[in-house]
Chains A and B, each alone.
Chain A
Amino acid sequence: MLFRILKNSFLKRPKAVFLVFLSIAMGAAVATAFLGIAGEVSHKMALELRSYGANILLEPSAVEGGGFLREEDLPKIKTVFWKYNITGFTPYLFGIAEFSAGGKKERGVVSGTWFARQLEVPGEDPSVQGIKGIAPWWEVEGRWPEAADESIVGAALAKRLNVVPGGDVTTTVRGRTQQLRIVGVVTTGGYEEEQLFAPLVTVQSLLQQQGKISRVLVSALTVPMDDFGKKDPATMSKDEYEKWYCTAYVTSVAKNVEEVMAGSRAKPIWQIASAEGALLKKLNSVMLLLTVLALGASATAVSTSLMASMAERSPEIALMKAVGADRLQISAIFVGETLIISVAGGIVGYLLGDQLAGIISRTVFNSPISSPLWLFPTAIISAFAVAIAGSVAPLRRALLIEPVRVLKG
């Protein structure tokens, strides 16, 4: 019976129902869009942070003159105090090169690195080091390079060069040429997609930089920074320094690694990321605030239109009361009505909001967005919240209607 009442009431008053539906759908759409973007932004940020997997960056300490690190120092990383907390590292050597494939010519970065290299260190267990270990999220279409003349190419560069796995790229640096076979196209979600990756030895001979590397990324298990960890080691007492040194803060591990790589400076990568993180956090709270405001506005709209329709429907409510409906039964009818509208509004709002988020993301952030699964329940719940918040005042009014006055007219 309840559903029969609701169905007929919807069919009879499409305009009023549509108005409420629209307010709820708008609220849910805005909530979905904003929360979706906020969620995506933090997700992207998390990926970005993880995409360094790596949390320590080793660079030559001589800033000018493009200094280099020595490849022969690399095995020492596995011998430092925190060696067991260092889960992997990868050296890189960069150079600008001319790529040509199938008549196309492009300038780009050629990057020499280890993919998965067996590393033997005297007195330590052999281990495998390289990109494969510290960047497990890299998606390689094709396979990883194995021979010295094989390489993988970033997705963006591959598009520009129009190469697919199996093709060849001729790499030219200052007149020296190296033929490289593409065995895979890599998607990383980062700047790496603009580069071509080849084995370190190959690039070293191409760039005439034998035994040299330009940076090392180290990935270490670390303890989250706390107040003690942020203290400047230089100002610590001996005991404090000892404790700091033997706690696996990213800074202490970085210092550890720096000591064994001659002429290097280690930077914890969180320092780079945390500035961005703070900004994104602010952006997220703004988004959250906007969402709350939008939901509040749409609750107000729902409340207003329900109030209006309540005035119009007061004879009907009075009649129901006269026939013997108690407060629970009256509430069931009106709350049920709003809840059904809110489910529909929530679904439509979700679909709209999803599109909206896509559009905003494309125009403002210039990146596509993937909508996570939790957005759907969020949209429905926010629609419910709007509906319930918006129907409190009208319902109170409905329950206060005195049948005698209204029916007598």
Chain B
Amino acid sequence: MVAVKLIPHILSWAGIVLVLLRGFPGRRSVVTLTSISGFVIGVTGTFILFRSYPGTIPFGIVKSALGVSFLFLWGISVAVIYRSTGRGVSIFRGERLVNTSLCAGVVACLASMVAGAVCACRLPATDSTALTFILLALAAGALAYTLAYAALAFDKLLSPSYTVTLTGMLVAVVALLLCSSSSVLRLDLFSPLSMKVMKGVHDFVHQFMESILIPDHLFVRSYVWNYIGLLFGKEVGFWGGMVIWFTPAFLIALAIRFERLPSVAHIRQGAQRRTLLAAAIAKRRYRLVIPVLSVAVFAAAAYQSRFPSVEYWDPKPLPVTASPAGEIFIPKKGEIDLEDGKLHKYLFKQGGREARFFVLMTPEGRLTVDLDACAICKPDGYGQAEGSVICYYCKTLIPLDTVGKPGGCNPVPVAFTEKSDGVVIDGMALINSWGSTVQATARVKEGGK
């Protein structure tokens, strides 16, 4: 199951390796080796991160790496489009460094590290021992070795005339990384981007325009208000996000499209001159293939982000322990923000008995602690959908604002005390409540289905 989920991520890494091999022709061995090692470092490094900082911090780190790569792409794209207008501007002083094996190695290693980190984010959180760690490293290494050599073999099959420009290579690498990460909810960049755009637009309109746009203003007719109203629509964030999302790839494609053709005026024979020109145009067309494909990959990433295949928000239960006094304390802030309106599941074990429960902030702002089971169904637990939680057993949707109340197929509430910095639950009562609930429902057989 995990392996199936990993397939798209690993394939996009293989795509990255292939593009890098194309982008640095003649540096195959460097690119292959650094890619493999980068991937292994990425996987194991992220694994260690997850071990030392549980919760959302590792996700944040990987997500920032992705964000930085996207910003970097933006910078590059603006620079190349500016240069393609013919201005002789030197953007990057070390430009001659670009085609060295050092640069090839660094780019391949960094890209593969991020790709590996994204893969690692998909791995289930296990009790990590040194053994699993070594096994993981070995597995990642073997996998990376196989795929990198598959990519190498494929690259050798391709005709050398399919060249990739440096910018084309970068845009493809970033596109593949983002496409790979967009299917992981916590790494996704596009949705937060559109949220930020929407918020930004609203803040801008509020803060800077409010003063001049009082409703009865002389110069602001009612139809103008309709246009201003558009700025507050739900779509603003989406379309604004789209623009930001696709612009770099478009700019790079444009820059390649407007590349100067070689000067052929000195060749006197028309046929020969035109043959050269046609060859140059064909070559440019080949170089455009990768950026155009990258646009499609970006679109796939945006689509995945917009319509995530994950139907329900269902985090893995985090193990918690009780204090000597038998109390479980869950902090409000920290690696998990209890008050973010999402379901947070925990697992409490004591003396061979265990209880699964979750903490949730209802839309009206009330914290509630409930068993991950209801009084009537088998304890299959709950997932969170939009505006409701769903009981996995009977598939009943329960409105979010009724979570925390007993009855029906609602999750069984647990008594807790809310403090300013967290919630406190009595461990023994929790275990007992779980025990009696599960006992009561265990007799409900798999009737009918």
* CA–CA, A223 and B377, complex, Å: 14
Could you tell me if A239 and B444 are in contact, using CB atoms closer than 8 angstroms? yes
> Within the complex, what minimum Cβ distance (angstroms) separates A81 from chain B?
6
* CA–CA, A231 and B448, complex, Å: 9
Knowing A221-B388, A248-B409 are in contact, say whether A85-B396 is a contact too (CB < 8 A).
Answer: yes
* CA–CA, A236 and B377, complex, Å: 18
User: Which of B376, B377, B397, B444 is close to A221, meaning CB atoms less than 8 Å apart?
Assistant: B397
Could you tell me if A83 and B407 are in contact, using CB atoms closer than 8 angstroms? yes
> Which A residues lie within 8 Å of B376 (CB)?
242, 246
Number of interface residues of B (CB under 8 A): 20
* CA–CA, A223 and B385, complex, Å: 14
Knowing A242-B447, A243-B448 are in contact, say whether A248-B407 is a contact too (CB < 8 A).
Answer: no
Proximity bits, B380-402, A CB within 8 Å = 1, else 0: 00000000100000111111001
* CA–CA, A246 and B376, complex, Å: 7
B269-285 contacts to A, CB under 8 A, are: none
> Which A residues lie within 8 Å of B409 (CB)?
85, 246, 248
> Which A residues lie within 8 Å of B405 (CB)?
84, 125
Closest to B403 in A: A84
Max chain A C-beta neighbours (<10 A), residue from B399, B405, B409, B448 = B448
- Check: B422 CB closer than 8 A to any chain A CB: no
> Which A residues lie within 8 Å of B448 (CB)?
228, 231, 236, 240, 243-244
> Which B residues lie within 8 Å of A366 (CB)?
none
A-B contacts, CB under 8 A, total:
63
> Within the complex, what minimum Cβ distance (angstroms) separates A323 from chain B?
13
Number of interface residues of A (CB under 8 A): 21
> Within the complex, what minimum Cβ distance (angstroms) separates B407 from chain A?
6
> Which B residues lie within 8 Å of A237 (CB)?
447
* CA–CA, A236 and B448, complex, Å: 9
> Which B residues lie within 8 Å of A223 (CB)?
394-397
> Which A residues lie within 8 Å of B394 (CB)?
223, 243, 246-248
* CA–CA, A248 and B396, complex, Å: 6
> Which A residues lie within 8 Å of B447 (CB)?
228, 237, 239-240, 242-244
> Within the complex, what minimum Cβ distance (angstroms) separates B420 from chain A?
25
Instruction: Pull 18 A–B residue pairs with CB atoms less than 8 Å apart, ordered by A.
Output: A83-B407, A83-B408, A84-B399, A84-B410, A85-B396, A221-B398, A228-B448, A239-B447, A240-B447, A240-B448, A242-B376, A242-B444, A243-B445, A243-B448, A244-B448, A247-B395, A248-B394, A248-B396
Which B residues have a C-beta under 8 Å from some C-beta of A? 376-377, 388, 394-399, 402, 405, 407-410, 444-445, 447-449
Closest 7 A-B residue pairs measured CB to CB?
A: A84-B402, A228-B448, A243-B447, A248-B396, A246-B376, A247-B394, A240-B447
